[in-house]
Amino acid sequence: FDLKPLPANVELVQLTDELMPSFKRLLSLTLPIAYPEKFFIETMTEPHHSVTLVAVWHPTPPQGDSLQPEKPHLVGAIRCRLLPGRNLYISTIGLLAPYRSHGIATHLLHAIVNKAAQEHGVRCITAHVWEANEDGLEWYQKRGFETIGKEEGYYRKLKPSTAFLVKKWIGVGDLL
pLDDT value for 168:
96
Is residue 164 pLDDT above 60, yes or no? Answer: yes
Segments making up each domain of the chain, as ranges: 10-127
Is residue 96 pLDDT above 50, yes or no? Answer: yes
Strand, helix or coil for residue 54: strand
CB 108 within 8 A of CB 93: yes
Please write the tens of the pLDDT for every residue from 112-148: 999 999 999 999 999 999 999 999 999 999 999 999 9
CB 165 within 8 A of CB 155: no
Query: Minimal CA–CA distance to 103: which of 42, 141, 55, 135?
Result: 55
Please write the tens of the pLDDT for every residue from 62-74: 455 556 667 889 9
Cα torsion 88, 92, 95, 101: sign: positive
Per DSSP, what are the bridge partners of residue 149? Answer: 165
Residue 161: exposure state from Cβ atoms within 10 A (0-12, 13-18, ≥19): middle
pLDDT value for 47:
75
**Lowest model confidence (mean pLDDT) among 33-42, 46-55, 74-83:** 46-55
Cα 6 to chain center, whole Å?
15
* CATH number, span 10-127: 3.40.630.30
CB 87 within 8 A of CB 122: yes
Tell me the average pLDDT across 20-28: 96
Please write the tens of the pLDDT for every residue from 30-42: 999 899 999 999 9
Query: Minimal CA–CA distance to 77: which of 43, 128, 116, 47?
Result: 43
Radius of gyration for the chain, computed over Cα atoms and rounded to the nearest angstrom: 17
pLDDT value for 1:
62
Let me know how many helices (H) and strands (E) the chain has, helices first: 4, 7
Query: Minimal CA–CA distance to 93: which of 58, 146, 59, 143?
Result: 143
Q: How many residues does the chain have?
A: 176
pLDDT value for 62:
41
